[in-house]
Chains A and B, each alone.
Chain A
């Protein structure tokens, strides 16, 4: 049953919320600067609650089902995180308060910086970037600043593997770099010959996701890093797939110079239907001075009796400010809590079980679907959503049919280098029964593809709405509610 829009349930003069009466003498409002009308809904509080509650019922979510979206790390979002983030001592602090009045916040942020640095083997961390893409942007700006500070002005290229997420090349272009693609070899590793051929003294750096978007750990990662460093470039690690590495290996130990974290992937902060995320960035020692401003630091050392005084510091050669204030603080509280509930053993447990789950699913599915790379995978794997004996059925159809079995589809058509790609990442919080059910359903759908492909082409049938006309959406471009005349 489709839900009406908030405007459609409006009724003239209905009120939803009341404020206390004005307790001060009134000043005249500024003539000539007032708006003529305010076309906003007029609904009661029950209308609002009912409307959005009904909308929520149309959504699939981690709380209601399994979400094997590759490279998104749809793990369970702990409810305790929601509680602690809402503690009044956090929620009601203004970002510009005197530092003496927010030592709790600053101490927590300082420790989170240290913890993230420890987890990935880096020397310094900024918590400011608002999301992974902004973290990447921060990283690429640091690369540019580093070379410029050494007078090395001809490095205008960034190397990016063809399997990379779209944000990597988009970020490089935004920063004024030319993008050079690097091939992936038949084993799913960075093609060393392609890399060597592209490296010269005009290359500023390489953006590498490891494990990559195929879910594979680069078998030559140390050699890749060495080659780039030898050519004078820096190595940026896209940390979207960090879930496979927690407690297993640290990118800093492998030689990475910079990397970003996705708190909303690896560290369980909720996806919220499209954010907020949080994309802290870690850097090696030689890049600490370029971090964005501000970073949390110790202003006055403490001793046995008194804690240190925490405050904001400006790195000497800072690239500047990435966003207002200090970053997505509410997400930092959640991530801090999550890490403290896991400790070093718990973090390693996450990676081990994430990788175990992915390999288990891979083992169960590889005889039904073609997997282009015959290797142990990490926390995710890619298979082809296409069967030779059902040529008209595509990854899209399989994805849509999965919804009829109450599963959210895996990521499809990414990475671009796999034909009809289906990227599956179970995460460590799914149990064996769920994985078995998912594998069984996919095998059943493969069978349907051969016998009754029409079921797939016209899927989904059991969802609140069927396949939507995306061409019409792009052509007719209706981006706002139709306003009922009564408003």
Chain B
């Protein structure tokens, strides 16, 4: 299972990558393995939305499960991956790359400290 070391993680299987003040969010390799073939992705927020941590930003559906994707850090949405809903299988094939979901301008970068690092997330997936 792939857990890139440069990312931060939540215990609900989202990953965060940080570039300056902008956080990019998606779901992890572990998540897509649990879901199996993803057939549908709906991003439920728009550019400009101001959201609090834990807000639902997307829904991911496979044949046997459906999961909400939650925002790990509060912020304002600055970009949404418009291509992802057309090709939901990217969540399975490229969860950390082309299957990014949204980008937010963080309200409070200190919130990142509350997230897990790669080692911590790896341990979490084994529980």
Contacts and interface: CB of A to CB of B under 8 A. Distances in A.
A–B touch (CB < 8 A): the answer is yes
Interface in A247-278: none
B116 interface: no
Contacts of B37: 471
A69 to B, nearest CB: 18
Interface in B88-113: 88
Contacts of A471: 37, 39, 63
A474 B61 CA distance: 10
Contacts of A475: 39, 88
Nearest to B40: A474
A470 interface: yes
B110 to A, nearest CB: 30
Nearest to B39: A474
11 contacts: A470-B63, A471-B37, A471-B39, A471-B63, A473-B63, A474-B39, A474-B40, A474-B61, A474-B63, A475-B39, A475-B88
Nearest to B89: A475
Interface in A450-481: 470-471, 473-475
Given A474-B39, A474-B61, 9 more contacts: A470-B63, A471-B37, A471-B39, A471-B63, A473-B63, A474-B40, A474-B63, A475-B39, A475-B88
A474 B40 CA distance: 8
B12 to A, nearest CB: 16
Contacts of B63: 470-471, 473-474
A475 B61 CA distance: 11
A475 B37 CA distance: 10
A477 to B, nearest CB: 9
A470 B63 CA distance: 7
Contacts of B39: 471, 474-475
Nearest to B37: A471
Interface in B49-98: 61, 63, 88
A473 B64 CA distance: 12
Nearest to A477: B39
A470 B38 CA distance: 11
Contacts of A470: 63
A473 B37 CA distance: 12
Nearest to A474: B39
Contacts of B61: 474
Contacts of A474: 39-40, 61, 63
A29 to B, nearest CB: 44
Most A CB contacts (10 A, CB to CB) among B40, B61, B63, B88 go to B63
Pick the 4 closest A-B CB pairs, nearest first.
Answer: A474-B39, A471-B37, A470-B63, A475-B39
A474 B63 CA distance: 7
Interface string B22-44: 00000000000000010110000
Contacts of B88: 475
A474 B39 CA distance: 6
B60 to A, nearest CB: 12
Contacts of A473: 63
A322 B66 CA distance: 29
A473 B88 CA distance: 14
Nearest to A475: B39
B96 to A, nearest CB: 22
A170 to B, nearest CB: 13
B120 to A, nearest CB: 26
A470 to B, nearest CB: 5
B84 to A, nearest CB: 14
A147 to B, nearest CB: 29
A471 B40 CA distance: 10
B91 to A, nearest CB: 13
A314 B40 CA distance: 46
Interface string A290-331: 000000000000000000000000000000000000000000
A48 B17 CA distance: 60
B105 to A, nearest CB: 31
B83 to A, nearest CB: 16
A45 to B, nearest CB: 39
A475 B87 CA distance: 10
Nearest to B61: A474
B43 to A, nearest CB: 18
Nearest to B63: A470
Contacts of B40: 474
A210 B121 CA distance: 39
A318 to B, nearest CB: 35
B45 to A, nearest CB: 21
A173 to B, nearest CB: 14
A474 B37 CA distance: 10
A3 B123 CA distance: 52
Nearest to A476: B39
Nearest to A471: B37
A364 to B, nearest CB: 30
A409 to B, nearest CB: 16
Interface in A6-48: none
Nearest to B88: A475
A471 B37 CA distance: 7
B115 to A, nearest CB: 25
A475 B36 CA distance: 13
A473 B62 CA distance: 11
A471 B63 CA distance: 6
A473 B63 CA distance: 9
A470 B37 CA distance: 10
A121 B37 CA distance: 48
